[in-house]
Chain A
Amino acid sequence: MKKNNIPQDKSALENYTKDICYALDEKGNYTTVASSGWEVKSTALDVTWNEIKERISNIKNKVIEGEVSPILFFMEVKLMDIKTLAAYTGFWSWQVKKHLKPANFKKLSEKKLQKYASVFEVSVETLKTMELDENKL
């Protein structure tokens, strides 16, 4: 890639930093250029985030319909998988899986609920109601 062809598109990096890109100068020697972003890349990121948001809203409906517990909802909000959530809460993976079922979730002690709530950075009350400002997602 030539130095002049380094894209300077708008991206989520704006006001944070710039990407360093390696490219050829006029003499064919490599040099570095700061890039504000590349549209191909930022669209890939946008597509991924839209998918995440869609998944979260689907799960929210499932929770309301009583198919899964709110833990799955917050797990997705925090972009975690079962292993990561298990590591942060200190539960075993099989326990987390168990708690994803609404019936088991209802039986959870206050202490265990508190553990989940603090990992998800919400109150126990919010953990149960899922009342979250979704614009902050």
Chain B
Amino acid sequence: MKINFNHIQTAHCENGVTVNLLQHAGIPQITEPLAFGIGSGLFYIHIPFLKVNNGPAISFRTMPGLIFKRTCKALQIPVVRQKFRSKEEAQRVLDNCLKNGQPTGCQVGVYYLTYFPKEYRFHFNAHNIIVFGKEEDNYLISDPVMEDFTTLSSYELERVRFAKGMLAPKGQLYYPKATKSFDEKLLQFAIQSGIKRNVRDMLYIPGNVAGVSGINYTANKIRKLRDKLGVKQAGLYLAQLVRMQEEIGTGGGGFRFIYAAFLQQAHQFIANDDLLKISEQFTQSGDLWRSAAVQASGIYKGRITAQSDFNEMANYLDEIAMLEKNAFKNLSQIKWNN
């Protein structure tokens, strides 16, 4: 049993699942940048006191699951979502979806994902894939970060659907119902509210760890890092930061470019030239994130280790914070025509 399904590779897994499922549900206009922007995907948070793999807990995007949820809601598409206690029930419901011709999104853990390179397999449980068919004991899988289709045996799929630990997926599956009517007016409105919500998330969350102020928070940590941890541990800390920033499926510098692309695409639906100008600001920010990563790599390779090198890294982040603050301020000042 195989559903006629078009696999599009994307930069980020949740965007990809959203795009692939929504296109199947009858919205051919949707693209990765649009889904990311409408879902207000751009974010920054440095969670204090929490360690991930002995490094800092930093996220460059919004909470897992929100991009899909918000995008569907904004486009007025009802979503079916289900979690399971029993593995048998989880498989039965999935098989039923496939029988009804419904490609189905699944939240999975990465650690036991057999088709991923071993180096990338950590206990990260908020990866997203689409199951779109079953041949004998093998499920046909569309993983948005893979170039092509792949497969998992029913045991392998069950294992990743019931991965355990932080953000355990609990067999969660979800899919949008097919849409009856869809017009561009709705898309315009969805773009606007996505931008407004993103402005709120980046500028107005109280405290100093979330949004642009979170970037300053990390910068301040980095200035103190060398004295606090020593050069070697500080290097590991920065390596972790870069992995969070650039890793497959969680790219942070990359998210800035996706957001810039979103504003360009938004311009096709809302003819406001400010969008294009602000898009350039995000491109600049993405470039700076990459320069910061290069600086960090100098430190974790042990090539540059002076306090001034850490300061320079921190300065990059402060500059980024300033830039993104201005960009979001500009976005908040856009006059929408309706």
Chain A residues in the interface with B (C-beta under 8 A): 1, 12-13, 16-24, 29-30, 32, 34, 38-41, 43-45, 47-49, 51, 79-81, 83-84, 87-88
Could you list 18 examples of A-B contacts with CB < 8 Å?
A1-B290, A13-B248, A17-B146, A17-B248, A22-B254, A22-B258, A23-B257, A30-B257, A40-B246, A43-B301, A44-B243, A44-B300, A48-B236, A48-B240, A80-B123, A84-B165, A84-B166, A87-B168
Within 8 A of A (CB), among B234-276: 235-236, 239-240, 242-243, 246-248, 251, 254, 257-258, 260-261, 264-265
- Determine if B53 and A87 form an interchain contact, defined as CB atoms under 8 angstroms apart: no
Quick check: is B111 within 8 A (CB to CB) of the other chain?
A: yes
- Determine if B11 and A20 form an interchain contact, defined as CB atoms under 8 angstroms apart: yes
- Determine if A20 and B9 form an interchain contact, defined as CB atoms under 8 angstroms apart: yes
Which of B75-83, B114-122, B307-315, B326-334 forms part of the interface with chain A?
B114-122
Quick check: is B33 within 8 A (CB to CB) of the other chain?
A: yes
- Determine if A13 and B117 form an interchain contact, defined as CB atoms under 8 angstroms apart: yes
CB distance from B309 to the nearest CB of A (A): 15
Chain A facing B: main interface SS = mixed
Given contacts A23-B257, A40-B297, A83-B165, 4 further A-B contacts (CB under 8 A): A22-B260, A32-B11, A34-B147, A83-B166
CA distance A87 to B248 in the complex (A): 26
Of the residues B117, B257, B283, contact of A16 by C-beta under 8 Å: B117
- A interface footprint on B292-321 (CB within 8 Å = 1, 0 otherwise): 011011001100000000000000000000
Q: Which residue of chain A has the shortest Cβ distance to B122 in the bound complex?
A: A79
Quick check: is B286 within 8 A (CB to CB) of the other chain?
A: yes
CA distance A22 to B53 in the complex (A): 28
